[in-house]
Structure 1
Amino acid sequence: MMTNLFSVFDPSTSLGLPLNWLSSFLGLLFIPYTFWFLPNRISLIWNKVTQVLHSEFKILLGPNSMGNTLMFVSLFAFILMNNLLTLFPYIFTSTSHLSMTLALSLPLWLSFMVYGWLNHTQHMFAHLVPQGTPAMLMPFMVSIETVSNIIRPGTLAVRLAANMIAGHLLLTLLGNQGPGTSSMILSMLIFTQIMLLTLESAVAMIQAYVFAVLSTLYSSESQ
């Protein structure tokens, strides 16, 4: 029995150990098997996806990106794997917790800021005042840009967690309505949940892409 609606996101277990967080590393179990697979459609599609992401991130990072795109492609793959695995039953939704999403966004943003302010101080100051800003509005624009820069890791973390929570809550609410309903309503609920699962699969891919792209944009501003 659920004590409340949000108990499905409770990371505690009966053993007293945070074993649920091991679901974040389930994707690592699939990596060795890929070396034994013959080239199939899934591997070809994934190779195509990584090539497209590499080309897009290279454009965003600029000509001096070198091998930096590998980090953002790996970040996309990690978030996508976690988002898709959470759609299966009895697998912990790790990306719906701020402790997970903030642990991804905060170190990235902090490293970008430290690198940018230490190596490109004048360039970072120029970002605080957009080009063409009137002299009277410059103090306000500096304060606004500073606040928007500080809350970037929070917005990255909350965006990913909130989108994953919203879909799972809808599925939980609809699933709790099944017992005691007529067969017609039950069939409608099942059809609605199938449609929501399809939507959640798309949201899982889109949120992983958005997180990786925004991280790439924040990195490009510090170069």
Structure 2
Amino acid sequence: MMTNLFSIFEPSSSIFNLSMNWISTFLGLMFLPYLYWASPSRWSLLWSKIIQTLHKEFKALLQPSHIGSTMLFVALFSLIVFNNFLGLLPYVFTSSSHMAMTLSLSLPLWLTLMIFGWLQHTKHMFAHLVPQGTPFALMPFMVLIETISNVIRPGTLAIRLAANMIAGHLLLTLLGGVGPSLSLSMLSILITAQILLLILESAVAIIQSYVFAVLSTLYTGEIN
């Protein structure tokens, strides 16, 4: 039972003996060219409006010297939200539910920020370890706490995204597995619950993508 339940997250499963599951990560690219060669539609205008709104929000969180970085975080949001939504479709591998992908997004970003910050703004990075107004006796503990909280940032970003994706998919799978054994009246209740959960998962897909991008933007803003 558990093997079948978690098989939906198994990256080693194959199609025609070809391990093609991770290719689903790039399925979102198929939606982008259409926005550039086709005539504007309501969906393309909506997506353009979302990008502009995200650009304004990320711009307010960044320092003036890092304004150009907003495009990086908009692209990061787009990648994650496409993968989250595609994972809700049947037979599409949810790559954003794996630490292999989420950690691959958060760790290089955090490591780049740390290298840049410590090389270019060393004094600021040292000052950031001790919040203003900290008593002298507590300074060593604050340095330790701030260092630990800084080191675990990529892990918390990766785990938050992967755990939320796994939890929702497992709940949908568990409820869907009991469908054949239910009566017709209970089945209608189950379908209603599944639809509500699917709506909730759609909201979670957007929220988690936004949280990942916003936290990455905040970490970048702290460097300078």
Structure 2 equivalent of residue 217 of structure 1: 218
Change (3 A) 1:17 1:222: farther
Q: Residue 106 of structure 1 aligns to which amino acid in structure 2?
A: L
Map 1:97-116 onto structure 2 (within 5 A): 97-116=98-117
The answer for the alignment partner of 2:13 in structure 1 is 13
- Structure 2 counterpart of 1:72, which letter? F
Alignment gaps of 5+ in structure 1: none
Q: 1:184 corresponds to which residue?
A: 185
Show the 5 A alignment for 1:71-86.
71-86=72-87
Q: Pairwise mapping of residues 1-150 of structure 1 onto structure 2 (< 5 A)?
A: 3-14=3-14, 15-150=16-151
Worse overlay, 66-75 or 194-203: 66-75
TM-superposed deviation, 1:35? 2.2
Distance, in Å, in 1 between the alignment partners of 2:183 and 2:67 is: 60
User: Between the two proteins, what is the percent identity of the paired residues?
Assistant: 67
- 1:145-198: per-residue Cα shift (whole Å, max 9, x none)? 000000000000000000000100000000000012100111111100000000
The size of the alignment, in residue pairs, is 223
Which ranges of structure 2 fall in alignment gaps of 5 or more residues?
none
**Separation in structure 2 between the aligned mates of residue 153 and residue 86 of structure 1, nearest angstrom:** 23
Letter in 2 for 1:8: I
| TM-score normalised by L of structure 1 | 0.96
Q: What SS does structure 2 have at the residue aligned with 1:133? A: coil
Quote the residue 2:162 is aligned against. 161
**Runs of 4+ deviating beyond 4 Å:** none
Q: Distance in 2 between matches of 1:81 and 1:25?
A: 9
TM-score by length of 2: 0.96
State the alpha-carbon separation in 1 of the partners of residues 217 and 62 from structure 2: 7
Matched residue type, 1:59: A
Q: Give SS of 1:13's match.
A: coil
Contact persistence 1:101–1:158 (CA under 8 A): yes
- Shift in Å, 1:2: 6.7
Look up the equivalent residue of 2:193 and give its one-letter code. Answer: T
Q: 62-71 or 131-140: which moved more?
A: 62-71
Say if 1:128 and 1:141, in contact at 8 Å, map to a contact too: yes
SS of equivalent to 2:67:
coil
**In 2, Cα distance between equivalents of 1:35 and 1:57:** 24
Asked if structure 2 preserves the Cα contact closer than 8 Å seen for 1:160 and 1:211, the reply is yes
Could you tell me how far 1:16 is from its partner in structure 2?
Answer: 4.8
Give 1:7's aligned amino acid.
Answer: S
Shift of 1:33: 1.8
Alpha-carbon deviation of 1:73?
A: 0.4
Q: Partners in 2 of 1:138 and 1:5 — Cα distance?
A: 49
